[in-house]
Amino acid sequence: MFKKVLIANRGEIAIRIMRTCREMGIRTVAVYSEADRYARHVREADEVYFIGAAPAAHSYLRIETILAVARKSGAEAIHPGYGFLSENAAFVDACEQAGIVFIGPSAEAMRLMGSKIAAKRLTQSVGAPTVPGYAGESQDNTVLLKEAERIGFPLLIKASAGGGGKGMREVHQPAPFLEQLAGARREAQAAFGDETVFLEKLIIRPRHVEIQILGDRYGNMIHLCERECSIQRRHQKIVEESPSPILTPALRAEMGEAAVRIAQAAGYVNAGTMEFILDSDKRFYFLEMNTRLQVEHPVTELVTGFDLVRQQLLIAAGEKLAITQAQVSQRGHAIEVRIYAEDPEHAFLPSTGTVSTFVEPEGPGVRVDSGIESSDEISQYYDPMIAKLIVYGENRQAAIARLQRGLEQCIIFGVKTNIALLHAIATHPAFQGGLTHTGFLDEHHLLTPETGQAAPPDAALLAAACYELSNRQIQSATDNPWQNLGPWRMTGEGYAFTYTYHEQAYRVALRSQNGQQDMWECKIDARAVGNVAYKHGKQSFILLTFGPMQVHTNVQQIQSAIHVNLNGHTYILGRRQPPDVDIATYGGNRLNTQKALTAPMAGTIVKVQIHDGEEVAAQQVLVILSAMKMEHTITATHDGRVRRVHYQEGAVVKGGAVIVEME
Ligand code: ADP
């Protein structure tokens, strides 16, 4: 076995790999960029090396630099994790030339399966089913349009080199086909440097079901059953589980055998995943292969009991696969959710910043794979995933109950997150009924942010007021109370204070009992809500007690608002409302009211479809912006005339910059 392994990655996956290395007595080497100087994966490694500037192209994607670190540190092997260099065949070649083991497949198998077109042809050659479509040689517009008409609409244009949903376009009618084709090519070229596309019939309400495989150098190949990953946003998985709620043992065996057959035909070694979609008649079709460890691998680990990273290391070190197909079975049920720093109110765009508080859920059947701790940074440079919460239960129902509890226990302050969305999924009757498909979130309208906030419950308002009270007491403890109590009042019956929230919509009045500061008589507006005592615990924890009854909350002030987390919901209670707060946060909001359309995030203008003075219709696409390798459209919010387009194609713009001004 290796003595030392370099992990060419960051965040949760780097830490997850280190944990298994430690169990196997392998020393770990971490690499880090400028942005990750203080990152958790750096703190946890045995040896650390700086590799360059924050953008991945200057650090985590630099093959020569990473190999130089491997040589210098004496690492015998490199684990690429997922993303970054994990599916880069040139990196695999370079490792081989440097005499360092790449923990993954051969460059040849990776190249073959990295081309979706080639993988599809290979799959057909072993008699496994693929989605009907066109994956021929020609990239000619007229040929593709003719093929599209033959396949029929709706269909998908996909990038052969694709991944992460990039370069993929749904087309529902012939008319916009060529325009969508151009967009898909542009996106594919920008993301992968390869604009080759192919066409697939769009399967309606499909489930995404994938099979984990493991193969060694001696031709032994097994599968570790399936993961269902149907709950997706923009074709990206956010909830994954095993077993799939609808697979029968016969279908599982059939799909598992197909996966093994394809992998064998590819000469594949190490861990990999065959992705399939299942139509509503439970017919399955091969989609693509991922030639690496997947984000969602933990659900397989929990139900099969095998540590996939350990298996990867054993196989890479040249050992024979010690697990036979007969030894693989699923026990119980596991579900993973991906907790992202993203803003549900702004189209789920990444929400970067410092995570001031992160309380990880714990307890029976709960595993958290995370890359950060409280006061760590979510930067704009990398994937905004904060953590994966993985739960295990003896059956699906028990696992879902754990998922709900885990999400309710997970406290994150400082950045916006998708926890409320994940909680809404976990509690949805259709999810509980196993009625999942890739359009689940749209079908149940789970992506539309609640208009305005839900009214804060009394406990949230009281928690906010007690938090403010406790801060005031801490501040005042050593000083002269008469100078420091500020807006406190000493009344005949004791201290009293009133806090107002939400632009005075709620008034919380606390009056101390008999001049003591450990029991407070409370009123919300004019309504008496009883006597409360509180205790400030670890981090942001505040325990409210009403006689024998206890309410657990987490509270933190962020800028001018008090954030209260109660039962998994975060209520943001505005205190003072400086008039320009919104404008400072979302630069350009003031102009927005003057009909200015702004860039949702920093990026490059790739297409300007209108000119100054042009009449436009509501919903018309005016400008296309490319950011984080995806295209975003800036559309007219109403019928009107363009006063001015502020940028030309190719311009680099900041998030919030005014792109188009309407009259
Ligand atoms: P990527 O590699 O970019 O992630 P995939 O080919 O793996 O792209 O597809 C990602 C997701 O897109 C699938 O999980 C599924 O939800 C959807 N998808 C892909 N192909 C089809 C299809 N032919 N019909 C319907 N949905 C599809």
Model confidence over 40-89: pLDDT tens digits?
Answer: 999 999 999 999 999 999 999 999 999 999 999 999 999 999 999 999 99
Q: What is the mean pLDDT of residues 268-284?
A: 97
Ligand 1 atom 15: the closest Cα is on which residue? 235
DSSP state of 499: E
Residue 449 has pLDDT above 80, yes or no: no
pLDDT of residue 283 exceeding 90, the answer is yes
Q: Return d(Cα 45, Cα 136) in angstroms, integer.
A: 47
| CA 617, 620, 623, 628 torsion-angle sign | positive
CA diameter of the chain: 89
Q: How many CB atoms lie within 10 A of CB 371?
A: 25
Q: Which residue in the list 62, 185, 292, 405 is annotated as catalytic? A: 292
Closest atom, ligand 1, to C-alpha of 438: 16
Q: To the nearest whole percent, how much of the chain has pLDDT over 70?
A: 92
Q: Could you tell me how many residues make up the chain?
A: 663
pLDDT on residue 566: 92
121 catalytic per annotation: no
Start-end of H helices in 115-169: 116-125, 141-151
Which domains are seen in the chain, by residue range? 4-103 (3.40.50.20), 132-201 (3.30.1490.20), 458-574 (3.30.700.30), 591-662 (2.40.50.100)
Strand partners, 222: 214
What radius of gyration, in Å, describes the C-alpha atoms of the chain? 27
* Mean pLDDT score across all residues of the chain: 90
Ligand 1 centroid to Cα of residue 126, in Å, is 21
Tell which wins on pLDDT, 450 or 663. Answer: 663
The Cα–Cα gap between 6 and 4 comes to 7
- In this predicted structure, which of 59-73, 147-161, 254-268, 453-467 has the lowest mean pLDDT? 453-467
Whose C-alpha lies nearest to ligand 1, atom 13?
Answer: 235
User: 430-434: long-range contacts at Cβ-Cβ below 8 A with a sequence spacing of 24 or more?
Assistant: 431/231, 431/400, 432/397, 432/400, 434/245, 434/246, 434/396
Residue 537 pLDDT class (50, 70, 90 cuts): confident
For a mutational test of ligand 1's pocket, the pick from 204, 211, 284, 438, i.e. the residue with the most ligand atoms closer than 8 A to its C-beta, is 438
For residue range 3-47, what is the model confidence (pLDDT) as tens digits?
Answer: 999 999 999 999 999 999 999 999 999 999 999 999 999 999 999
Distance 277 CA to ligand 1 centre (A): 8
Pocket test for ligand 1, best of 82, 153, 168 (most atoms within 8 A of CB): 168
pLDDT at residue number 502? 79
| Distance from Cα 469 to the centre of ligand 1, integer Å | 52
pLDDT category at 281 given cuts 50, 70, 90 is: very high
Rounded distance from Cα 91 to ligand 1 centre (Å): 26
What pTM was estimated for this model as a whole?
0.86
Instruction: Kindly give the distance from the C-alpha atom of residue 235 to the centroid of ligand 1, in angstroms, as a whole number.
Output: 6
User: Which pLDDT value is given to residue 452?
Assistant: 53
How many helices (H) and strands (E) the chain has is answered by 19, 40
Ligand 1 lining (C-beta closer than 6 Å): 131, 156, 162-165, 168, 200, 202-203, 206, 208, 232, 235, 275, 277, 287-288, 438
Q: What is the pLDDT of residues 167-186, one digit of tens each?
A: 999 999 999 999 999 999 99
Query: How far is CA 621 from each of CA 187, 347, 569, rounded to the nearest angstrom?
Result: 17, 17, 35
Contact 413, 563 (CB under 8 A): yes
Which residue's CA lies nearest to atom 14 of ligand 1? 208
